[in-house]
Structure 1
Amino acid sequence: MKKLILGGVTAAVLMALSSAAMANFVEGKDYTVVQNPGKVEVAGKLEVREFFWYGCGHCFSLEPHMQAWLKKIPKDVNFVRTPAAMNKVWEQNARGYYVSEALGVRKRTHLPLFHAIHDNGQQIFDQKSQAKFFTKYGIPEAKFNSLYNSFAITAKVAQANKLAQQYQLTGVPAVVVNGKYVVQGDDGKVVKVVEYLLNKERKAK
């Protein structure tokens, strides 16, 4: 009986310590507050938006942590992945991302593209190299190229840039919580800060 009581006390203490640790996340150190908050895409849901670039080593390091979190994402949260297009090189990969999305292969190509670049050293950054990469997933180069500079893809890239400017991003990875907070980093702490901010938003409702 004593062991059970002690076990319960230990669990309670650990939970209290965990909550205390989460409460220690502070503005300006662990996250920043957006001066001009953005609107969420799905009304009634909290939003987590990740800005990334396929060539970014820090984005690649963060990806496993985000993938693990996505497997247990709360039902009241909508996750949005946004390819950063803040310079000409990044824009080329952003266009490729949106083409893969338009052609329905994004879920199958997202991680393989990351690994091809960072594990295999492949330089898949321009239109030609991306078109070749996507042929492995049944997308003819001509089809990829026909969409790459299309109005629809250009509009999505413009929207991604508009959001990056609104959130005053200077680099990636950057995770924006509910259009109000920006969390940066490349390890598991990012997810913990995101969860802390989501709880903060839930309490504010």
Structure 2
Amino acid sequence: MLKKIAVVLMTTVFMPVLALAANFVEGKDYKLVASPTPVTPGVIEVREFFWYGCPHCFRLDPFLNTWLKTKPKDVNFVRTPAALNPVWEGSARGYYAIEMMGMVEKTHTPLFNTIHEKQARIFDEASLASFYQRYGVDPTKFRSLFNSFPVNAKVSQAKQLAQKYQIEGVPAVIVNGKYMVSGDGAKVIEVTNFLIDKERNKK
């Protein structure tokens, strides 16, 4: 009997905590996107807008990397470098050039680390080419892609999406083209997972 009472008491005590963990509030923990954008049918899209020079993006990156290791199969994760000004656009061009060379996974975190741990300003074509060369990237090929038509198109698309989602700062995580989550800690992942489940249950 005492054991049953103890179980009931423990359940009563922890229920509010569990409820708090399982339910996040619109307008407080996340917000609705003013102009929702259709995403690829059949998957739930999670899109991160970031800039390599952003300290909040740097702090969020390890949480995202951990989440990606166990990401659900029906979730498509997309990194989108925000090109909200000329300096940020340089980083975006570098990202898309490296993406076309298949080197993002090898260089993404090292670039973040170098910029923030060594206070290095690696944002323009020359500094990016020099940095990426350390990781086996051909600087001549990188420079040829930096201002190429395909990279121009990707940067233009990133700008259009940022405008459509009304991105004013980073990091900004967009879930299924409908919800925006901001922040730089573990809560961003928790809210993102909550919204993924919310979208999954609508199917």
TM over 0.5: yes
Tell me if 1:166 matches 2:164.
yes
- Which runs of no fewer than 5 residues in structure 2 stay unpaired? none
CA change 1:130–1:175 in 2 (3 A) is same
Structure 2 SS opposite 1:80: strand
Conservation of the 8 A alpha-carbon contact between 2:30 and 2:181: yes
Name the counterpart of 2:128. 130
Conservation of the 8 A alpha-carbon contact between 2:23 and 2:194: no
Q: 1:181 is matched by which residue type in structure 2?
A: Y
Q: 1:199 aligns with which of 192, 197, 200?
A: 197
Structure 2 SS opposite 1:137: coil
Q: What is the CA distance between 1:202 and its match in structure 2?
A: 1.6
CA change 1:151–1:4 in 2 (3 A) is farther
CA–CA distance in structure 2, aligned partners of residues 84 and 4 of structure 1: 55
CA–CA distance in structure 2, aligned partners of residues 4 and 113 of structure 1: 55
Tell me if 1:99 matches 2:77.
no
| 1:179-198 correspondence to structure 2 within 5 Å | 179-198=177-196
Name the counterpart of 1:80. 78
CA–CA distance in structure 2, aligned partners of residues 105 and 46 of structure 1: 25
Conservation of the 8 A alpha-carbon contact between 2:171 and 2:184: yes
Q: 1:142 aligns with which of 140, 143, 146?
A: 140
Name the counterpart of 1:32. 31
CA change 1:177–1:20 in 2 (3 A) is same
Q: What is the CA distance between 1:32 and its match in structure 2?
A: 1.0
Aligned-pair identity (%): 55
Structure 1 SS opposite 2:89: helix
Query: What is the aligned residue count?
Result: 203
CA change 1:52–1:122 in 2 (3 A) is same
CA change 1:155–1:120 in 2 (3 A) is same
CA change 1:123–1:19 in 2 (3 A) is same
Conservation of the 8 A alpha-carbon contact between 1:65 and 1:187: yes
Conservation of the 8 A alpha-carbon contact between 1:22 and 1:193: no
Q: What is the CA distance between 1:22 and its match in structure 2?
A: 3.3
Name the counterpart of 2:45. 47
Q: What is the CA distance between 1:35 and its match in structure 2?
A: 1.6
CA change 1:157–1:195 in 2 (3 A) is same
CA change 1:6–1:55 in 2 (3 A) is same
Structure 2 SS opposite 1:197: helix
- Which runs of no fewer than 5 residues in structure 1 stay unpaired? none
RMSD after superposition: 2.2
